[in-house]
């Protein structure tokens, strides 16, 4: 190995991607050790990281060209030793001259003075802070001033960040292309209106508040279903570069806040609205008129109280068929549709504002490739029959769709391009319906979870890849916010 040219050894190392393999390979010879150290561009360390200054300096000397560093103390306990502190972060920031991407997760010993050390990282492009309990707006402002190349900022569960001087400063330069703020209780959605010209270059934006009980159940506030927040443009910012937008667990009333963004995103390709309160059809109509490039939409809807007449009030989900018609008319590139309905009755008619007729207009007007329906009680076997003629549908996931039976499964088995099917908590589908899927010989992937009338024996061999579980996964119950017992009650006779 010592006789091989350095260029050849470097090329060999480039083809090895696993960190454990690289570590082993570097022990073969001193030459490989040196080349591998110089070439390593990314490193991920956690509880085993020694925080002594000498050890950190040695680590940086071992990997002098690090571009991406992730420090993750998730699962850390005092017995694991000391965490990286402010002095340690200073070592990283001053010795890693090529650093462009830094992630700090569950680093409870780093405060504002440590974060200020990142001002040395003039080349840093991306910073992610996940569960940083001591970081405040002061430290974040230091980053905004010092890191002049910053284009991506993620803040997750940073409870002490409140004032938004840092946001105004970043907006003034307008350099950010990606901004994600999740579960930071000191930051409200209307604070982002102060971002000003920063919206012009932003391509991805995500804002999520902590999930509360009111996200699921309707409150006492009655919203105006005819209110149009987009009839007059009272905010002069524009976000014409925004391609990816996600809003979750926020209330857009009485302040307009981020609601106005929906009518300003001309380049938007991906939209996700999860339990956003007070929206109505006018918001989706305004969105559809400006977003002809929309390719993916995810709507997680809960019950809300609406009225445009003080004498009458109805409890339903945010949008009606008018929204579906607007999307069908104005978004010809829509390929991914994800609809979740929370807290609605299992029987139709119910509080869901969509009907099967409106839904099928959308499906038949757009080239839908991926469709996810959760608790869509308006959707039945007739809908499955209509869906089976969709020429583009490749992936279908049905959750708690208790109006779908074996008849619907027999229809969907003949969908021209369907290759992946997932059934979760659909208790009216039995072995008979699954057998029809097998006879069609179309599926590449089949997932069946918590469908009480489907057996493992019936599922085996139906597709090239089969995942079967008679139980409800923890991931699904957490996502739905319901225990398995409630899932059974909601989806069985």
Rounded mean pLDDT of 401-430?
A: 96
Rounded to whole angstroms, how far apart are CA atoms 149 and 69? 17
pLDDT in tens, 301-323: 999 999 877 677 889 999 999 99
Rounded to whole angstroms, how far apart are CA atoms 162 and 170? 15
Residue 32 resides in a domain:
yes
Taking CA atoms, 274 is separated from 220, 300, 393, in Å, by: 20, 5, 24
Rounded to whole angstroms, how far apart are CA atoms 336 and 334? 6
Mean of pLDDT over the chain:
89
309 has which bridge partners?
A: 312
446 has which bridge partners?
A: 421, 466
In three-state form (DSSP H/G/I as H, E/B as E, the rest C), the secondary structure along the chain is CCCCCHHHHHHHHHCCCCHHHHHHHCCCCHHHHHHHHHHCCEEEECCCCCCCHHHHHHHHHHCCCCCEEEEECCCCCHHHCCCCCHHHHHHHHHHCCCCCEEEEECCCCCCHHHHHHHHHCCCCCEEEEECCCCCCHHHHHHHHHHCCCCCEEEEECCCCCCCCHHHHHHHHHCCCCEEEEECCCCCCHHHHHHHHHHHHCCCEEEEECCCCHHHCCCCCCEECCCCCCCCCCCCCCCCCCCCEEEEECCECCCCCHHHHHHHCCCCCCEEEEECCECCCHHHHHHHHHHCCCCCEEEEEEECEEEEEECCEEEEECCCCHHHHHHHHHHCCCCCEEEEEEECCCCCCCCCCCCCHHHHHHHHHHCCCCEEEEECCCCCCHHHHHHHCCCCCCCEEEEECCCCCCHHHHHHHCCCCCCCEEEEECCCCCCHHHHHHHHHHCCCCEEEEECCCCCCHHHHCCCCCEEEEECCCCHHHHHHHCCCHHHHHHHHCC
Best-predicted range by mean pLDDT (66-75, 126-135, 169-178): 126-135
Rounded to whole angstroms, how far apart are CA atoms 209 and 257? 14
Q: What is the pLDDT of residue 362?
A: 98
272 has which bridge partners?
A: 246, 298
Q: What is the pLDDT of residue 455?
A: 96
pLDDT at 266 over 50: yes
Residue 27 resides in a domain:
yes
Residue 4 resides in a domain:
yes
Residue 23 resides in a domain:
yes
pLDDT in tens, 187-225: 998 899 889 899 999 999 999 998 876 566 677 788 989
pLDDT at 393 over 60: yes
Q: What are phi and psi of 489, to 5 degrees?
A: -65, -40
Rounded to whole angstroms, how far apart are CA atoms 336 and 450? 25
pLDDT: is 30 or 131 the higher one?
131
pLDDT at 492 over 60: no
Q: Which domain holds residue 14?
A: 1-39
Counted domains in the chain: 1
pLDDT at 233 over 90: no
Residue 29 resides in a domain:
yes
Return the residue matching tokens 């003075």. Answer: 113
Q: Report pTM.
A: 0.89
Instruction: List the CATH number of the domain containing 27.
Output: 1.20.1280
Residue 420 resides in a domain:
no
Rounded mean pLDDT of 382-408?
A: 97
């Amino acid at each position: 190995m010592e006789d091989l040219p350095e260029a050849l050894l470097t090329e060999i190392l480039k083809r090895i991607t696993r960190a454990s393999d690289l570590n082993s390979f570097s022990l073969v010879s001193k030459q490989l050790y040196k080349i591998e150290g110089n070439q390593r561009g990314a490193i991920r360390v956690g509880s085993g990281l020694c925080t002594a200054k000498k050890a950190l300096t040695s680590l940086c000397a071992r990997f002098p060209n690090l571009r991406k560093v992730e420090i993750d103390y998730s699962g850390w306990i005092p017995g694991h030793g000391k965490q990286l502190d402010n002095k340690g972060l200073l070592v990283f920031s001053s010795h890693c001259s090529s650093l462009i991407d830094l992630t700090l997760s569950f680093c409870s010993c780093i405060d504002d003075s440590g974060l200020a050390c990142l001002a040395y990282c003039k080349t840093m492009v991306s910073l992610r802070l996940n569960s940083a309990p001591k970081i405040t707006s002061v430290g974040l402002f230091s980053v905004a001033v010092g890191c002049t190349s910053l284009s991506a900022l993620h803040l997750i569960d940073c409870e002490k960040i409140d004032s938004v001087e840092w946001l105004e400063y970043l907006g003034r330069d307008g350099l950010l292309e990606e901004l994600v703020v999740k579960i930071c209780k000191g930051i409200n959605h209307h604070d982002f209106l102060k971002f000003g010209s920063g919206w012009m270059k932003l391509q991805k934006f995500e804002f999520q508040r902590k999930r509360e009980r009111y996200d699921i159940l309707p409150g006492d506030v009655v919203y105006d279903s005819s209110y149009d927040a987009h009839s007059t443009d009272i905010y002069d910012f524009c976000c014409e570069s925004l391609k990816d937008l996600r809003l979750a667990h926020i209330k857009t009333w009485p302040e307009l806040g981020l609601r106005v963004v929906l009518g300003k995103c001309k380049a938007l390709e991906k939209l996700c609205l999860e339990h956003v309160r007070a929206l109505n059809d006018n918001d989706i109509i305004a969105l559809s008129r400006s977003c002809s490039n929309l390719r993916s939409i995810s709507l997680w809807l809960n019950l809300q109280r609406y009225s445009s007449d003080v004498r009458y009030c109805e409890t339903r989900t945010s949008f009606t068929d008018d929204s579906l018609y607007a999307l069908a008319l104005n978004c010809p590139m829509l390929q991914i549709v994800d609809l979740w309905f929370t807290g609605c009755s299992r029987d139709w008619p119910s509080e869901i504002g969509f009907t099967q007729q409106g839904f099928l207009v959308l499906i038949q007007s757009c080239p839908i490739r991926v469709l996810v329906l959760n608790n869509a009680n308006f959707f039945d076997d007739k809908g499955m029959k209509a869906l089976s003629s969709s020429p583009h549908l490749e992936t279908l996931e049905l959750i708690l769709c208790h109006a779908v039976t074996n008849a619907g499964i027999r229809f969907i088995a003949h969908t021209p391009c369907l290759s992946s099917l997932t059934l979760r908590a659909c208790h009216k589908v039995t072995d008979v319906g699954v057998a029809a899927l097998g006879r069609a010989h179309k599926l590449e992937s089949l997932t069946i979870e918590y469908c009480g009338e489907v057996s493992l024996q019936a599922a085996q061999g139906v597709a090239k890849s089969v995942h079967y579980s008679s139980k409800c996964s923890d991931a699904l119950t957490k996502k739905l916010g319901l225990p398995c017992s409630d899932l059974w009650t909601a989806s069985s006779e």
